Amino acid sequence: MKTRIALLMAIFLAFAIALPVHARTTFTKHDKEFATKAARDNLLEIELGKVAEQQAQAPEVKEFGTMIATDHGKANDELKEIAQRKNLTLPAELGPKGRKKVDELKKETGAKFDRMFMKDMVKDHTSDVKAFKKAIPRIKDPELKTWAENTLSGMKQHLKKAKATAKLVKAEK
């Protein structure tokens, strides 16, 4: 009887130890989808920001492009670290839609570029803020949830700055 109890306790202990380890190294389906989309969106913002750094006419638009490329680069690096710990490989390059968007923007120059870029930044950040607000309550992984909450705060700041810069270059809706 003592052997049986010791065996049951050993099995229970093994499961108790293994379960938290498993929970820490995987994402739910929703968490995976969220992280993957966030990584794709970050890659696009990084690329668009770099284009703005090179092609914008207004110094404020160039500055916004630099901020976007830097902040989204940092956010993506943090997300990659979390995903790596959870055994999830995130996209490393733009998909076809993102590449098309960047290529279309690269064709524009001067004030037209500034207006087009800033209008797109307001649209993208408005959409992203809404998407994050909707997704955060459903995120199960604590690390990913904290990252999303912190990133949402930064996106709100980007949106505010995007609106102000868009107004400056007359890119309002």
User: Regarding predicted confidence, which is higher, 2 or 103?
Assistant: 103
| pTM, two decimal places | 0.83
Predicted local confidence at residue 26, as pLDDT: 78
Mean of the per-residue pLDDT values of the chain = 89
The string of pLDDT tens digits covering residues 146-160 is: 999 999 999 999 999
Phi/psi of residue 71, each to 5°? -65, -40
Query: What string of DSSP letters covers the chain?
Result: -HHHHHHHHHHHHHHHHHHHHHHHH---HHHHHHHHHHHHHHHHHHHHHHHHHHH-SSHHHHHHHHHHHHHHHHHHHHHHHHHHHTT-PPP-S--HHHHHHHHHHHT--HHHHHHHHHHHHHHHHHHHHHHHHHHGGG---HHHHHHHHHHHHHHHHHHHHHHHHHHHTT---
Which is more confidently placed, 22 or 129?
A: 129
Q: Amino acid identity of 79? A: L
Domain boundaries along the sequence of the chain: 28-168
Q: Which fold has domain 28-168?
A: Ferritin (1.20.1260)
**Tokens (6 digits) for 6:** 């010791």
Contact 172, 126 (CB under 8 A): no
Q: What is the pLDDT of residues 38-62, one digit of tens each?
A: 999 999 999 999 999 999 999 999 9
Q: What is the C-alpha to C-alpha distance for residues 163 and 35, in angstroms, rounded to an integer?
A: 26
* Residue 7: partners with Cβ closer than 8 Å, 6 or more residues away: none
Task: Give the model confidence (pLDDT) of 58-100 as tens digits.
Answer: 999 999 999 999 999 999 999 999 999 999 999 999 999 999 9
> Rounded to whole angstroms, how far apart are CA atoms 151 and 143?
12
Residue 171's pLDDT is: 77
- Per-residue model confidence (pLDDT) at position 167: 97
Q: Above 70 in pLDDT, residue 1?
A: no
